[in-house]
Structure 1
Amino acid sequence: MNDKELYQQKKQTQLNEWKSGMIQLRTQALAARAHSQVELNKHVKLLEGKLEEGKIKLAELHKTTGSGFETAKKGFEITWDSIIATVDDTTAKFKAIA
Structure 2
Amino acid sequence: MSTKEAYKQKIEAEVELAQAKLAELRAEAKSSAADARIKYDEHIGELEQKVDAAKAKLKELSEASEDKWEHLKDGAENAWDKLSSAVRDTAAKLKDKFKD
* TM-score of the pair, normalised by structure 2: 0.60
Aligned partners of 1:93, 1:46: CA distance in 2, in Å?
14
How many residues align? The count is 67
Structure of higher RCO (CA pairs closer than 8 Å, 6+ residues apart): 2
Give a deviation string over 1:35-75, Cα, whole Å, max 9, x none.
22111111100111111111111000001113321110000
Any idea what SS the aligned residue of 1:36 has? Answer: helix
Aligned partners of 1:85, 1:50: CA distance in 2, in Å?
10
Question: Is the counterpart of residue 68 in structure 1 residue 72 in structure 2?
Answer: no
The runs of 4+ residues in structure 1 deviating greater than 2 Å are none
CA contact 1:40–1:93 (8 Å) conserved in 2 = no
The structure that has the greater radius of gyration is 1
CA contact 1:54–1:80 (8 Å) conserved in 2 = yes
Give a deviation string over 1:6-27, Cα, whole Å, max 9, x none.
xxxxxxxxxxxxxxxxxxxxxx
CA contact 1:61–1:72 (8 Å) conserved in 2 = yes
Aligned partners of 1:62, 1:69: CA distance in 2, in Å?
8
Equivalent AA in structure 2 for residue 87 of structure 1: V
* TM-score of the pair, normalised by structure 1: 0.61
Identity percentage of aligned residues: 33
More helix by share: 1
Aligned partners of 2:93, 2:52: CA distance in 1, in Å?
21
Structure 2's unaligned 5+ residue stretches are 1-32
Equivalent AA in structure 2 for residue 78 of structure 1: N
CA contact 1:54–1:83 (8 Å) conserved in 2 = yes
